[in-house]
Amino acid sequence: MNEEQVKVDRYAKSRDAFAWAKEVMPGGVNSPVRAFKSVAGGGDEIVPVTVKSGKGAMVMDVDGNEYVDYVLSYGPLILGHAPEVVSAAMSKVMRSGWTFGMPTEVETQLAQLVTDVVPSVDVVRFVNSGTEAVMSAIRLARAATGRAKVIKCTGCYHGHSDSLLVQAGSGATTLGVPSSPGVPEAITQNTLLVPFNDLVALDAVLKEQGDEVACFVVEPIAGNMGCVPPQDDYLEVVRELCDRHGVLLIFDEVMTGFRVDLGCAQKLYGVMPDLTCMGKVIGGGLPCAAYGGREDLMRQVAPDGPMYQAGTLSGNPLAMAAGLATLEVLRDTDAYGVLETQTASLELGMKQAASDAGVSVYTTRVGSMFGMFFSDKPVYNYEDATACRVDEYAIFFQSMLHQGVMLAPSAYETWFTSTQHDESVINMTIDAAAVAFKKVAG
């Protein structure tokens, strides 16, 4: 068998599974990036791997291949796959019923923990997805201020709700243009764009239209154009500018929340937003998200106040139990210390392997969020991120996949580690990267 046949054989069952999936689901997937389209140009014909199971740092596919997983379901699995403590908490719920549409104690327990540890969150409301969390926080900001406009950063992702599905424009600020058919311009006209890490642009748009702006929504560490941390005093000055114009500051911590610190990015950087959106880790890998913040704002949410927002499965006991068990581990152990040490050694090893192969990369990291850009220059915003050599990422991705390392199938995703990514899997990843970088170098 030649090298090509080995590769085809290695993914034979995934190939069949994906062919079937494509017949009955758009692109064979339930979220576009999973279709591997943006890494298809790496030289090999690849199909998305169909996963069968996961344990710790590893995922297994239907062909029996094993991979060290840096996708971790795009962030929720901070304790790795199927941790005993979380599955035990869920099993308990599964024996006693898992949805009621009535209050349960477990949702109050999770709400108590969240309000205890997230500094700016006095009151919290659970929803089912990050998309819903940000959509609802924006509705609340508009209700509270009586203003219609929203400012977001190019390259920041806040879910797929209509008014936020707006990406890059040209110039410092651009009036929103929908980035998907089906989103009327009338909706996105109220969405203003500024580059991330650009205080001059934010200041300018606020000076011009600040009295019409309800909120500035931002990922405190941008994680959807790769991992791009805030520069210097960016978040502090953002806070000041928002205050000056009576604009509410919303931190979208769907990715960063409980990932970089138990108190979320706001605690790490010491900057308090008015409203916070949380997701991913908060549900321990089940569909769960939340928005919360200052008491006077959150009391405007129905039924305390007039701003309507609801959900059949919101506060679902199974998701609450998984989230509570996960956050308790994060609170009661040295999880963040472990994540810091392990991910720092991953970063160091990746840099060394790239440099040994003569490939220029720019790496970023905050705790267990890691970014690696195929770039000669630093990356501070969407323009920098999209200038990177994505064709090289595709080659790198494919080589890593063949060697048993699962990276996100896009150059614009953050890598995540879990507490289960110990020295041996990190070292195995770095060894694989040495081979992959050589392939990139040609």
Query: How many angstroms separate the CA atoms of 50 and 385, rounded?
Result: 29
Question: Which of 129, 167, 363, 417 lies at the binding interface for ligand PLP (CB under 6 A)?
Answer: 129
Q: Does 418 bind ligand PLP (CB under 6 A)?
A: no
Token representation of residue 441: 């170098």
Is 207 catalytic? The answer is no
The whole-angstrom separation of Cα 127 and Cα 290 is 5
Task: Figure out which of the listed residues 17, 59, 79, 134 binds ligand PLP, where binding follows CB under 6 A.
Answer: 134
Piece of 124-132, 199-207, 339-347, 382-390 that binds ligand PLP (CB under 6 A): 124-132
Helix axes 390-402, 423-441, angle to 10 degrees: 130
Is 372 within 8 Å of 350 (Cβ atoms)?
A: yes
With contacts defined by CB under 6 A, name the span among 88-96, 205-213, 249-257, 390-398 that binds ligand PLP.
Answer: 249-257
Residue where the block lists tokens 């308090």: 272
Site for ligand PLP in 75-94 (CB under 6 A): none
| Residues from 262 through 301 that contact ligand PLP (CB under 6 A) | 279, 289
Closest distance between ligand PLP and the C-beta of residue 122, in Å? Answer: 21
At 417, list the tokens: 């580690």
Is residue 14 within the footprint of ligand PLP (CB under 6 A)?
no
The Cα angle at residue 81 between residues 78 and 83, in degrees rounded to 5 = 85
Q: Beta-carbon neighbour count of residue 212 at 10 Å? A: 14
Q: Are 172 and 154 in contact (CB under 8 A)?
A: no
Count of residues interacting with ligand PLP (CB under 6 A): 16
Residue 69 touching ligand PLP (CB under 6 A): no
- Nearest-10 Cα torsion for 429, 400, 158, 233: 50
The catalytic position among 67, 70, 74, 157 is 157
Q: Which of 139, 142, 152, 158 binds ligand PLP (CB under 6 A)?
A: 158
The least CB distance from residue 48 to ligand PLP, in Å, is 18
CB under 6 A: which stretch of 18-26, 129-137, 242-250, 298-306 binds ligand PLP? 129-137
Q: How many helices (H) and strands (E) does the chain have?
A: 15, 15
Beta bridge partners of 369: 366, 416
Taking CB positions, which residue lies at the least distance from ligand PLP? 130
Q: What is the 3-state secondary structure (H, E, C) of 130-169?
A: HHHHHHHHHHHHHHHHCCCEEEEEECCCCCCCHHHCECCC
Q: Contact region for ligand PLP (CB under 6 A) — 50-58, 85-93, 252-260, 363-371?
A: 252-260
Q: How far is the CB of 269 from ligand PLP (least distance, A)?
A: 16
| Amino acid (one-letter) located at 391 | D
Please identify which residue in 72, 255, 271, 297 interacts with ligand PLP, judged by CB under 6 A: 255
Which residues of this protein are in contact with ligand PLP, per CB under 6 A? 74, 129-131, 134, 157-159, 219, 223-224, 252, 254-255, 279, 289
The residues carrying an active-site annotation are: 157, 252, 280
